[in-house]
Each structure stands twice: as C-alpha cells, then as structure tokens.
Amino acid sequence: MMGFGTFPGVPSNPAQHLALALNGRTVGDRLVVGEGMPVSYERCVRRTRTLVASYRPELLLGVGVATERRVPSLERTARNRCDSRRVDVDAIGVAKLVPGGPDVLHTDFVSKALCDAIDGELSDNAGDYVCNAWLYDSLRLFSALRVGFLHLPAHGIDANQAMDLLRRGLENNHAEG
C-alpha cells in the first residue's frame, strides 16, 4: 500500500497515515508493506518501481486524499491527462502523461464487495492530479499486478476497514462489477 504524503492545502495526509499504520501487518500469510510517497509526478513512480522490485507484491494499492469526497472511493479508471496548472510538490505540472498512450486505462481491482468493506463507492474519476497519474502509470508499468487506487475523504478511514479491503482484494482474483 502506497499512501501519498503532504501537499499544498493538505498538511497532514490521511493516505500516508493509513499506509504507515498498516505497514507490517499481515493478511493471512501475506505481509502488508505500507509506505509513503511524495505528491510528485516523477518521484512517486520511481518510489513505486523500487518497492515493487524489492517486494514483488501480488497487489499494489495506491491511496490518496480527495478532500471534497464524503466517502472513500475505489477508482475504476485512470486517464492519460492531468491539469497542468496543478503543480506537484516539485513545482511540475503535467498535461499528457504518455504521448500516444491510451486515453483511459481500467483496473480489475475494484468490486462492490471491496466498496462494502470500506463503506465506499466506485468512481470513474481519479481526478486530474498526481493520484490519477500514479494510477495510470502503475496500470501501464505493472500490468502483471493487480493495481488499485483508493481515494479517502479528508477524515480518512479506519485501519481495520482498510485491512478488510486488502483481505477481500487478495481473496478475489477478479472484480465483481
């Protein structure tokens, strides 16, 4: 689980807090690795590549905050674009993520059962910022893994709910809908 850290307007990110809180826990015989990552278009991908190479996970879950959302949202799609006016913590703005790449990529991670685990909803809008970029790049770069993305509301979610999400996500090989 990779949780985004702080960025302008979010001095304490519940996504990073959740990832770090779950680090070292287990789901059955599987170790949960929870790490923070910078809200940086370039550095979050580099950090993810390093961790995937080190741990060789069967599931890769990114977590970010969407302060305008009232409930947690599991993202179904990532778009090959961001709002270039919204710069990351490195003062970089991005419009097109992969020139010539597919406009949309879909994850097979989400399902109604997973949403139920977190009292959440399915979403087709991963935003126009680094969260969407991370999901798009991760789906493209780690196609052999199950990749998902969870947007948290500003108040976050309970660690036990997140563990239930991971347990159900690891048990189910295919999304239900």
CATH number, domain with residue 53: 3.40.630.20
Over residues 151-157, mean pLDDT: 95
Does any domain span residue 36? Answer: yes
Over residues 131-147, mean pLDDT: 96
Question: So what's the pLDDT on residue 156?
Answer: 94
Does any domain span residue 177? Answer: no
Under the banding of pLDDT at 50, 70 and 90, the label for residue 176 is very low
Does any domain span residue 176? Answer: no
**Axis-axis angle for helices 159-171, 14-22 (nearest 10):** 70
Q: How far apart are CA 103 and CA 82, in angstroms?
A: 11
Q: How many domains does the chain have?
A: 1
Q: What is the mean pLDDT of the chain?
A: 93
Q: Is there a contact between 1 and 32 (Cβ–Cβ < 8 Å)? A: yes
Does any domain span residue 91? Answer: yes
Under the banding of pLDDT at 50, 70 and 90, the label for residue 138 is very high
Under the banding of pLDDT at 50, 70 and 90, the label for residue 175 is very low
Range of the domain at 10: 2-171
Over residues 51-76, mean pLDDT: 96
- Indicate the pTM of the whole model: 0.94
Question: So what's the pLDDT on residue 112?
Answer: 85
